[in-house]
Amino acid sequence: MSKDAHSKPSGDMKRSNKHSKAAVHNPEIQRQRRALPITSGRDAIIEHIRNEDVVVILGETGSGKTTQVPQYILEGGLAGDAGMIAITQPRRVAATSLADRVANEQEVRLGTQVGYSVRFDEKTSRSTRIKFVTDGMIMRELMSDPLLSKYNVVIVDEAHERTIRTDIFIASLKTIQKQRNHPTDEDGGGKSATKGAGIPPLKVIIMSATMDAEKFSKFFDKASIVYVKGRTHPVEIFHTSQHQADYVEAALKTFYQIHTDRPDGDVLIFLPGQEDIESLADTIRSFAKRLPHTAKQVLVCTMFASQPAAQIEKVFKTTPANTRKCILATNIAETSITIPGVVHVIDTGKHKQKRFLAGDTGGGFDTLLTRDISQSSAMQRTGRAGRESKGYCYRLYTEAAFKDMARSLEPEIARVGLASPMLDLLCLDIELEKLELLDRPDESNVVFALKALLFLGAIDAQKRITPLGRKMASFPLEPSHARAILASKDHACTREVLDIISVLSASSKLFMDITEKRDEIAEARAKFKHSSGDHLTILNVVRSYEQLASETDSAKKKWCRKHFLNEKSLAEAMAIREQLRQVCTRCEVYWKVSIGETVDGDPVLRSLAAALILNAAILQPDGTYKQAMGHAKVKIHPGSLLTDKKAPAIIYDELVYTTQIYARGVSSIPKSDLMQMLAGALKPAPQ
């Protein structure tokens, strides 16, 4: 709970639910609300929710689902006098920025009646009635409140994205509803159903922007589907005549053409990730600077998941006169956040996709690769051009390539690593394998995740969660990172391990890696370099950064620039560390324990090795590395600061797959330690 919820310009607003009063304060915002397409369906939506346990709402992006439905429920009294409404989002920045918008519409301060809860950040209070949460955070809430008894209504938003956490959450909601809504029903969960007695029934609303509503409706025993009509205008689609090898350059050229030759209106460019967005934004900004004063100006905005919500607000500001806004976004702008004023959409046809690559011999790893989008995404992107008037969509791929795309994206549960969600579920005494899911994961991925959890000591050979596993699950981290922090207790170096894990948990990378400047960068960072590799180098950076605590923000920024370090990532890591310290206190891990200034990092590396046992590789006679627990051959990433590139044994944070498999975030560890750990891994975990 945060006391520093920032106040809105309208100042001393009352904390009341008298909504008619609110309209007096800010008529413009209330006018905008009323003008949304969903307004005409308001009464029907309220009626459906009043009369039914589950309602599926399907509506065009921008029609007003996310911002209006929770308010309708509140205003319609559907959450009781004091009950809470949760609305889930797959992305944190969507959760925070939409909460901010709804607080504005309710004319209350963010963090009072309307709040949010995302990993490492929360703005709620006792008066919170509408809470935006990420799907990851609501799963954590289940651990302390398995029946979600705080909530009268739960809205699952962006269900069409089919993230693994959303899918698991939807499955959990079905069980919870049986227990709360039919506690005495033999059919409704048998004995365990009585657990829900005394708690008011739960209403579930599933919201989706694509045509997959039937699947959700069927899953919930033919729940009603309410269709919200959007306001759409025709969009003219252009395909390229040839394949474009460099989509960033193609996007740049297309933008130039639009800016010089095409009708007025803002431009939205879809790119796969932050790096492409930032580099193209720089190029367009420098182009814009050279425009003559008399020409139409260009205002560049960016939008990606790890961006602060305040920066997203910029895209909602009215474009100044004689200016064209150019928004560079990831697929966050596909359905999560609607931007007004867009007439032209440039679609690179790419996005970043997480995929678990299972090896044929039982090993596997998560990858984040740039891949083709699906036809359904392409249609969503196109639709963003026709919200307010006739629009244009420039696809940087051929019509044949469009026809070759998958119709819709495979659900995440079918393609990512399962260790983390399975551990969360085990905490709730639920086995993923037994859960009734929208789609089932691959058997081999389930087996691999169980093996990982066993090696980490989170479960025993009977697949039961261990006390250590329970502690691991209480950290909002990947199980391996949580394991490192818990292992640090045995090696008396919690402070150091927390420093490193905090940096690894930040949303952007600490070390900027610019291939052309690799030598210059290595020189600038030489003083942080630890011969054992990247983990202790990170620790040295954090220690140096902390010495700047009393300096101004601009001095800190300058220092980071000089050493090619990402300041955003360090600042975020410090905030994350604070949160992790609180969890440590709850788990009785004394975070102040430290090995001090010593250069001997062995205890730290041992703690990390206990966690990264699945991410260990052994040097082979031919000079390559092979995974200790799998069979993939890996290379040390050229950006790694490890001195001895022929160290007998290494651990790494992740594998990245480009032309070859590279290990990134690498440290060398004594081979004897690794062997000992491998031998011990199959023994029952210490209780």
Interface positions with ligand ADP (CB under 6 A): 36, 59, 61-68, 97, 101, 313, 316, 338, 340
What token pair was written down for 370? 């740039």
Comparing CA positions, the residue from 28, 146, 164, 155 lying closest to residue 99 is 155
Distance CA 420, CA 618 (A): 25
Distance CA 271, CA 585 (A): 41
Min. distance of Cβ 304 from ligand ADP in angstroms?
Answer: 16
Bin 453: left if φ > 0, else alpha if -120 < ψ < 50, else beta: alpha
331 contacts Mg ion (rule: CB under 5 A): no
What token pair was written down for 18? 């008298």
Min. distance of Cβ 270 from ligand ADP in angstroms?
Answer: 16
Residue 602's φ and ψ, nearest 5 degrees, are -50, -50
Q: Which of 38, 54, 59, 66 binds Mg ion (CB under 5 A)?
A: 66
Q: Which is nearer to Mg ion, 62 or 386 (by Cβ)?
A: 62
Q: Which is nearer to Mg ion, 59 or 111 (by Cβ)?
A: 59
Min. distance of Cβ 83 from Mg ion in angstroms?
Answer: 22
Q: Which is nearer to Mg ion, 39 or 474 (by Cβ)?
A: 39
DSSP per-residue codes, 331-354:
THHHHTS--TTEEEEEE-SEEEEE
Min. distance of Cβ 228 from Mg ion in angstroms?
Answer: 11
Q: Does an H or E element contain 135, and which?
A: helix 135-144
208 contacts Mg ion (rule: CB under 5 A): no
Q: Which is nearer to ligand ADP, 64 or 391 (by Cβ)?
A: 64
3-state secondary structure 192-234: HHHHHCCCCCCEEEEEECCCCHHHHHHHCCCCEEEEECCCCCC
Which one of ligand ADP, Mg ion, none interacts with residue 340, CB within 5 to 8 A by kind?
Answer: ligand ADP
Query: Contact 609/673 with Cβ under 8 angstroms?
Result: yes
Min. distance of Cβ 318 from Mg ion in angstroms?
Answer: 22
Q: Which is nearer to ligand ADP, 195 or 314 (by Cβ)?
A: 314
What token pair was written down for 254? 């297309």
What token pair was written down for 669? 């560890």
**Options 58-66, 495-503, 571-579, 616-624: segment touching Mg ion (CB under 5 A):** 58-66
Min. distance of Cβ 470 from Mg ion in angstroms?
Answer: 35
Q: Which is nearer to ligand ADP, 181 or 338 (by Cβ)?
A: 338
Distance CA 540, CA 597 (A): 10
Which one of Mg ion, ligand ADP, none interacts with residue 59, CB within 5 to 8 A by kind?
Answer: ligand ADP
Whose structure tokens read 């976004």?
329
Min. distance of Cβ 269 from ligand ADP in angstroms?
Answer: 18
Min. distance of Cβ 388 from Mg ion in angstroms?
Answer: 17
Which one of Mg ion, ligand ADP, none interacts with residue 338, CB within 5 to 8 A by kind?
Answer: ligand ADP
| Angle subtended at Cα 37 by Cα 32 and Cα 38, rounded to the nearest 5 degrees | 100
**Options 64-72, 194-202, 479-487, 589-597: segment touching Mg ion (CB under 5 A):** 64-72
Binding-site string for Mg ion from residue 393 to residue 432, where x marks contact by CB under 5 A and - marks none: ----------------------------------------
Binding-site string for Mg ion from residue 134 to residue 173, where x marks contact by CB under 5 A and - marks none: ----------------------------------------
Min. distance of Cβ 213 from ligand ADP in angstroms?
Answer: 14
Comparing CA positions, the residue from 382, 269, 283 lying closest to residue 315 is 269
Judged by CB under 5 A, the number of residues near Mg ion is: 2
Min. distance of Cβ 158 from Mg ion in angstroms?
Answer: 6
Contacts for 419 with CB less than 8 Å, ≥ 6 apart: 449, 452, 453, 456, 478, 479, 480
89 contacts Mg ion (rule: CB under 5 A): no
**Options 57-65, 247-255, 354-362, 447-455: segment touching Mg ion (CB under 5 A):** 57-65
Cα torsion 409, 412, 414, 417 to 10°: value is: 150
Query: Contact 463/430 with Cβ under 8 angstroms?
Result: no
Interface positions with Mg ion (CB under 5 A): 65-66
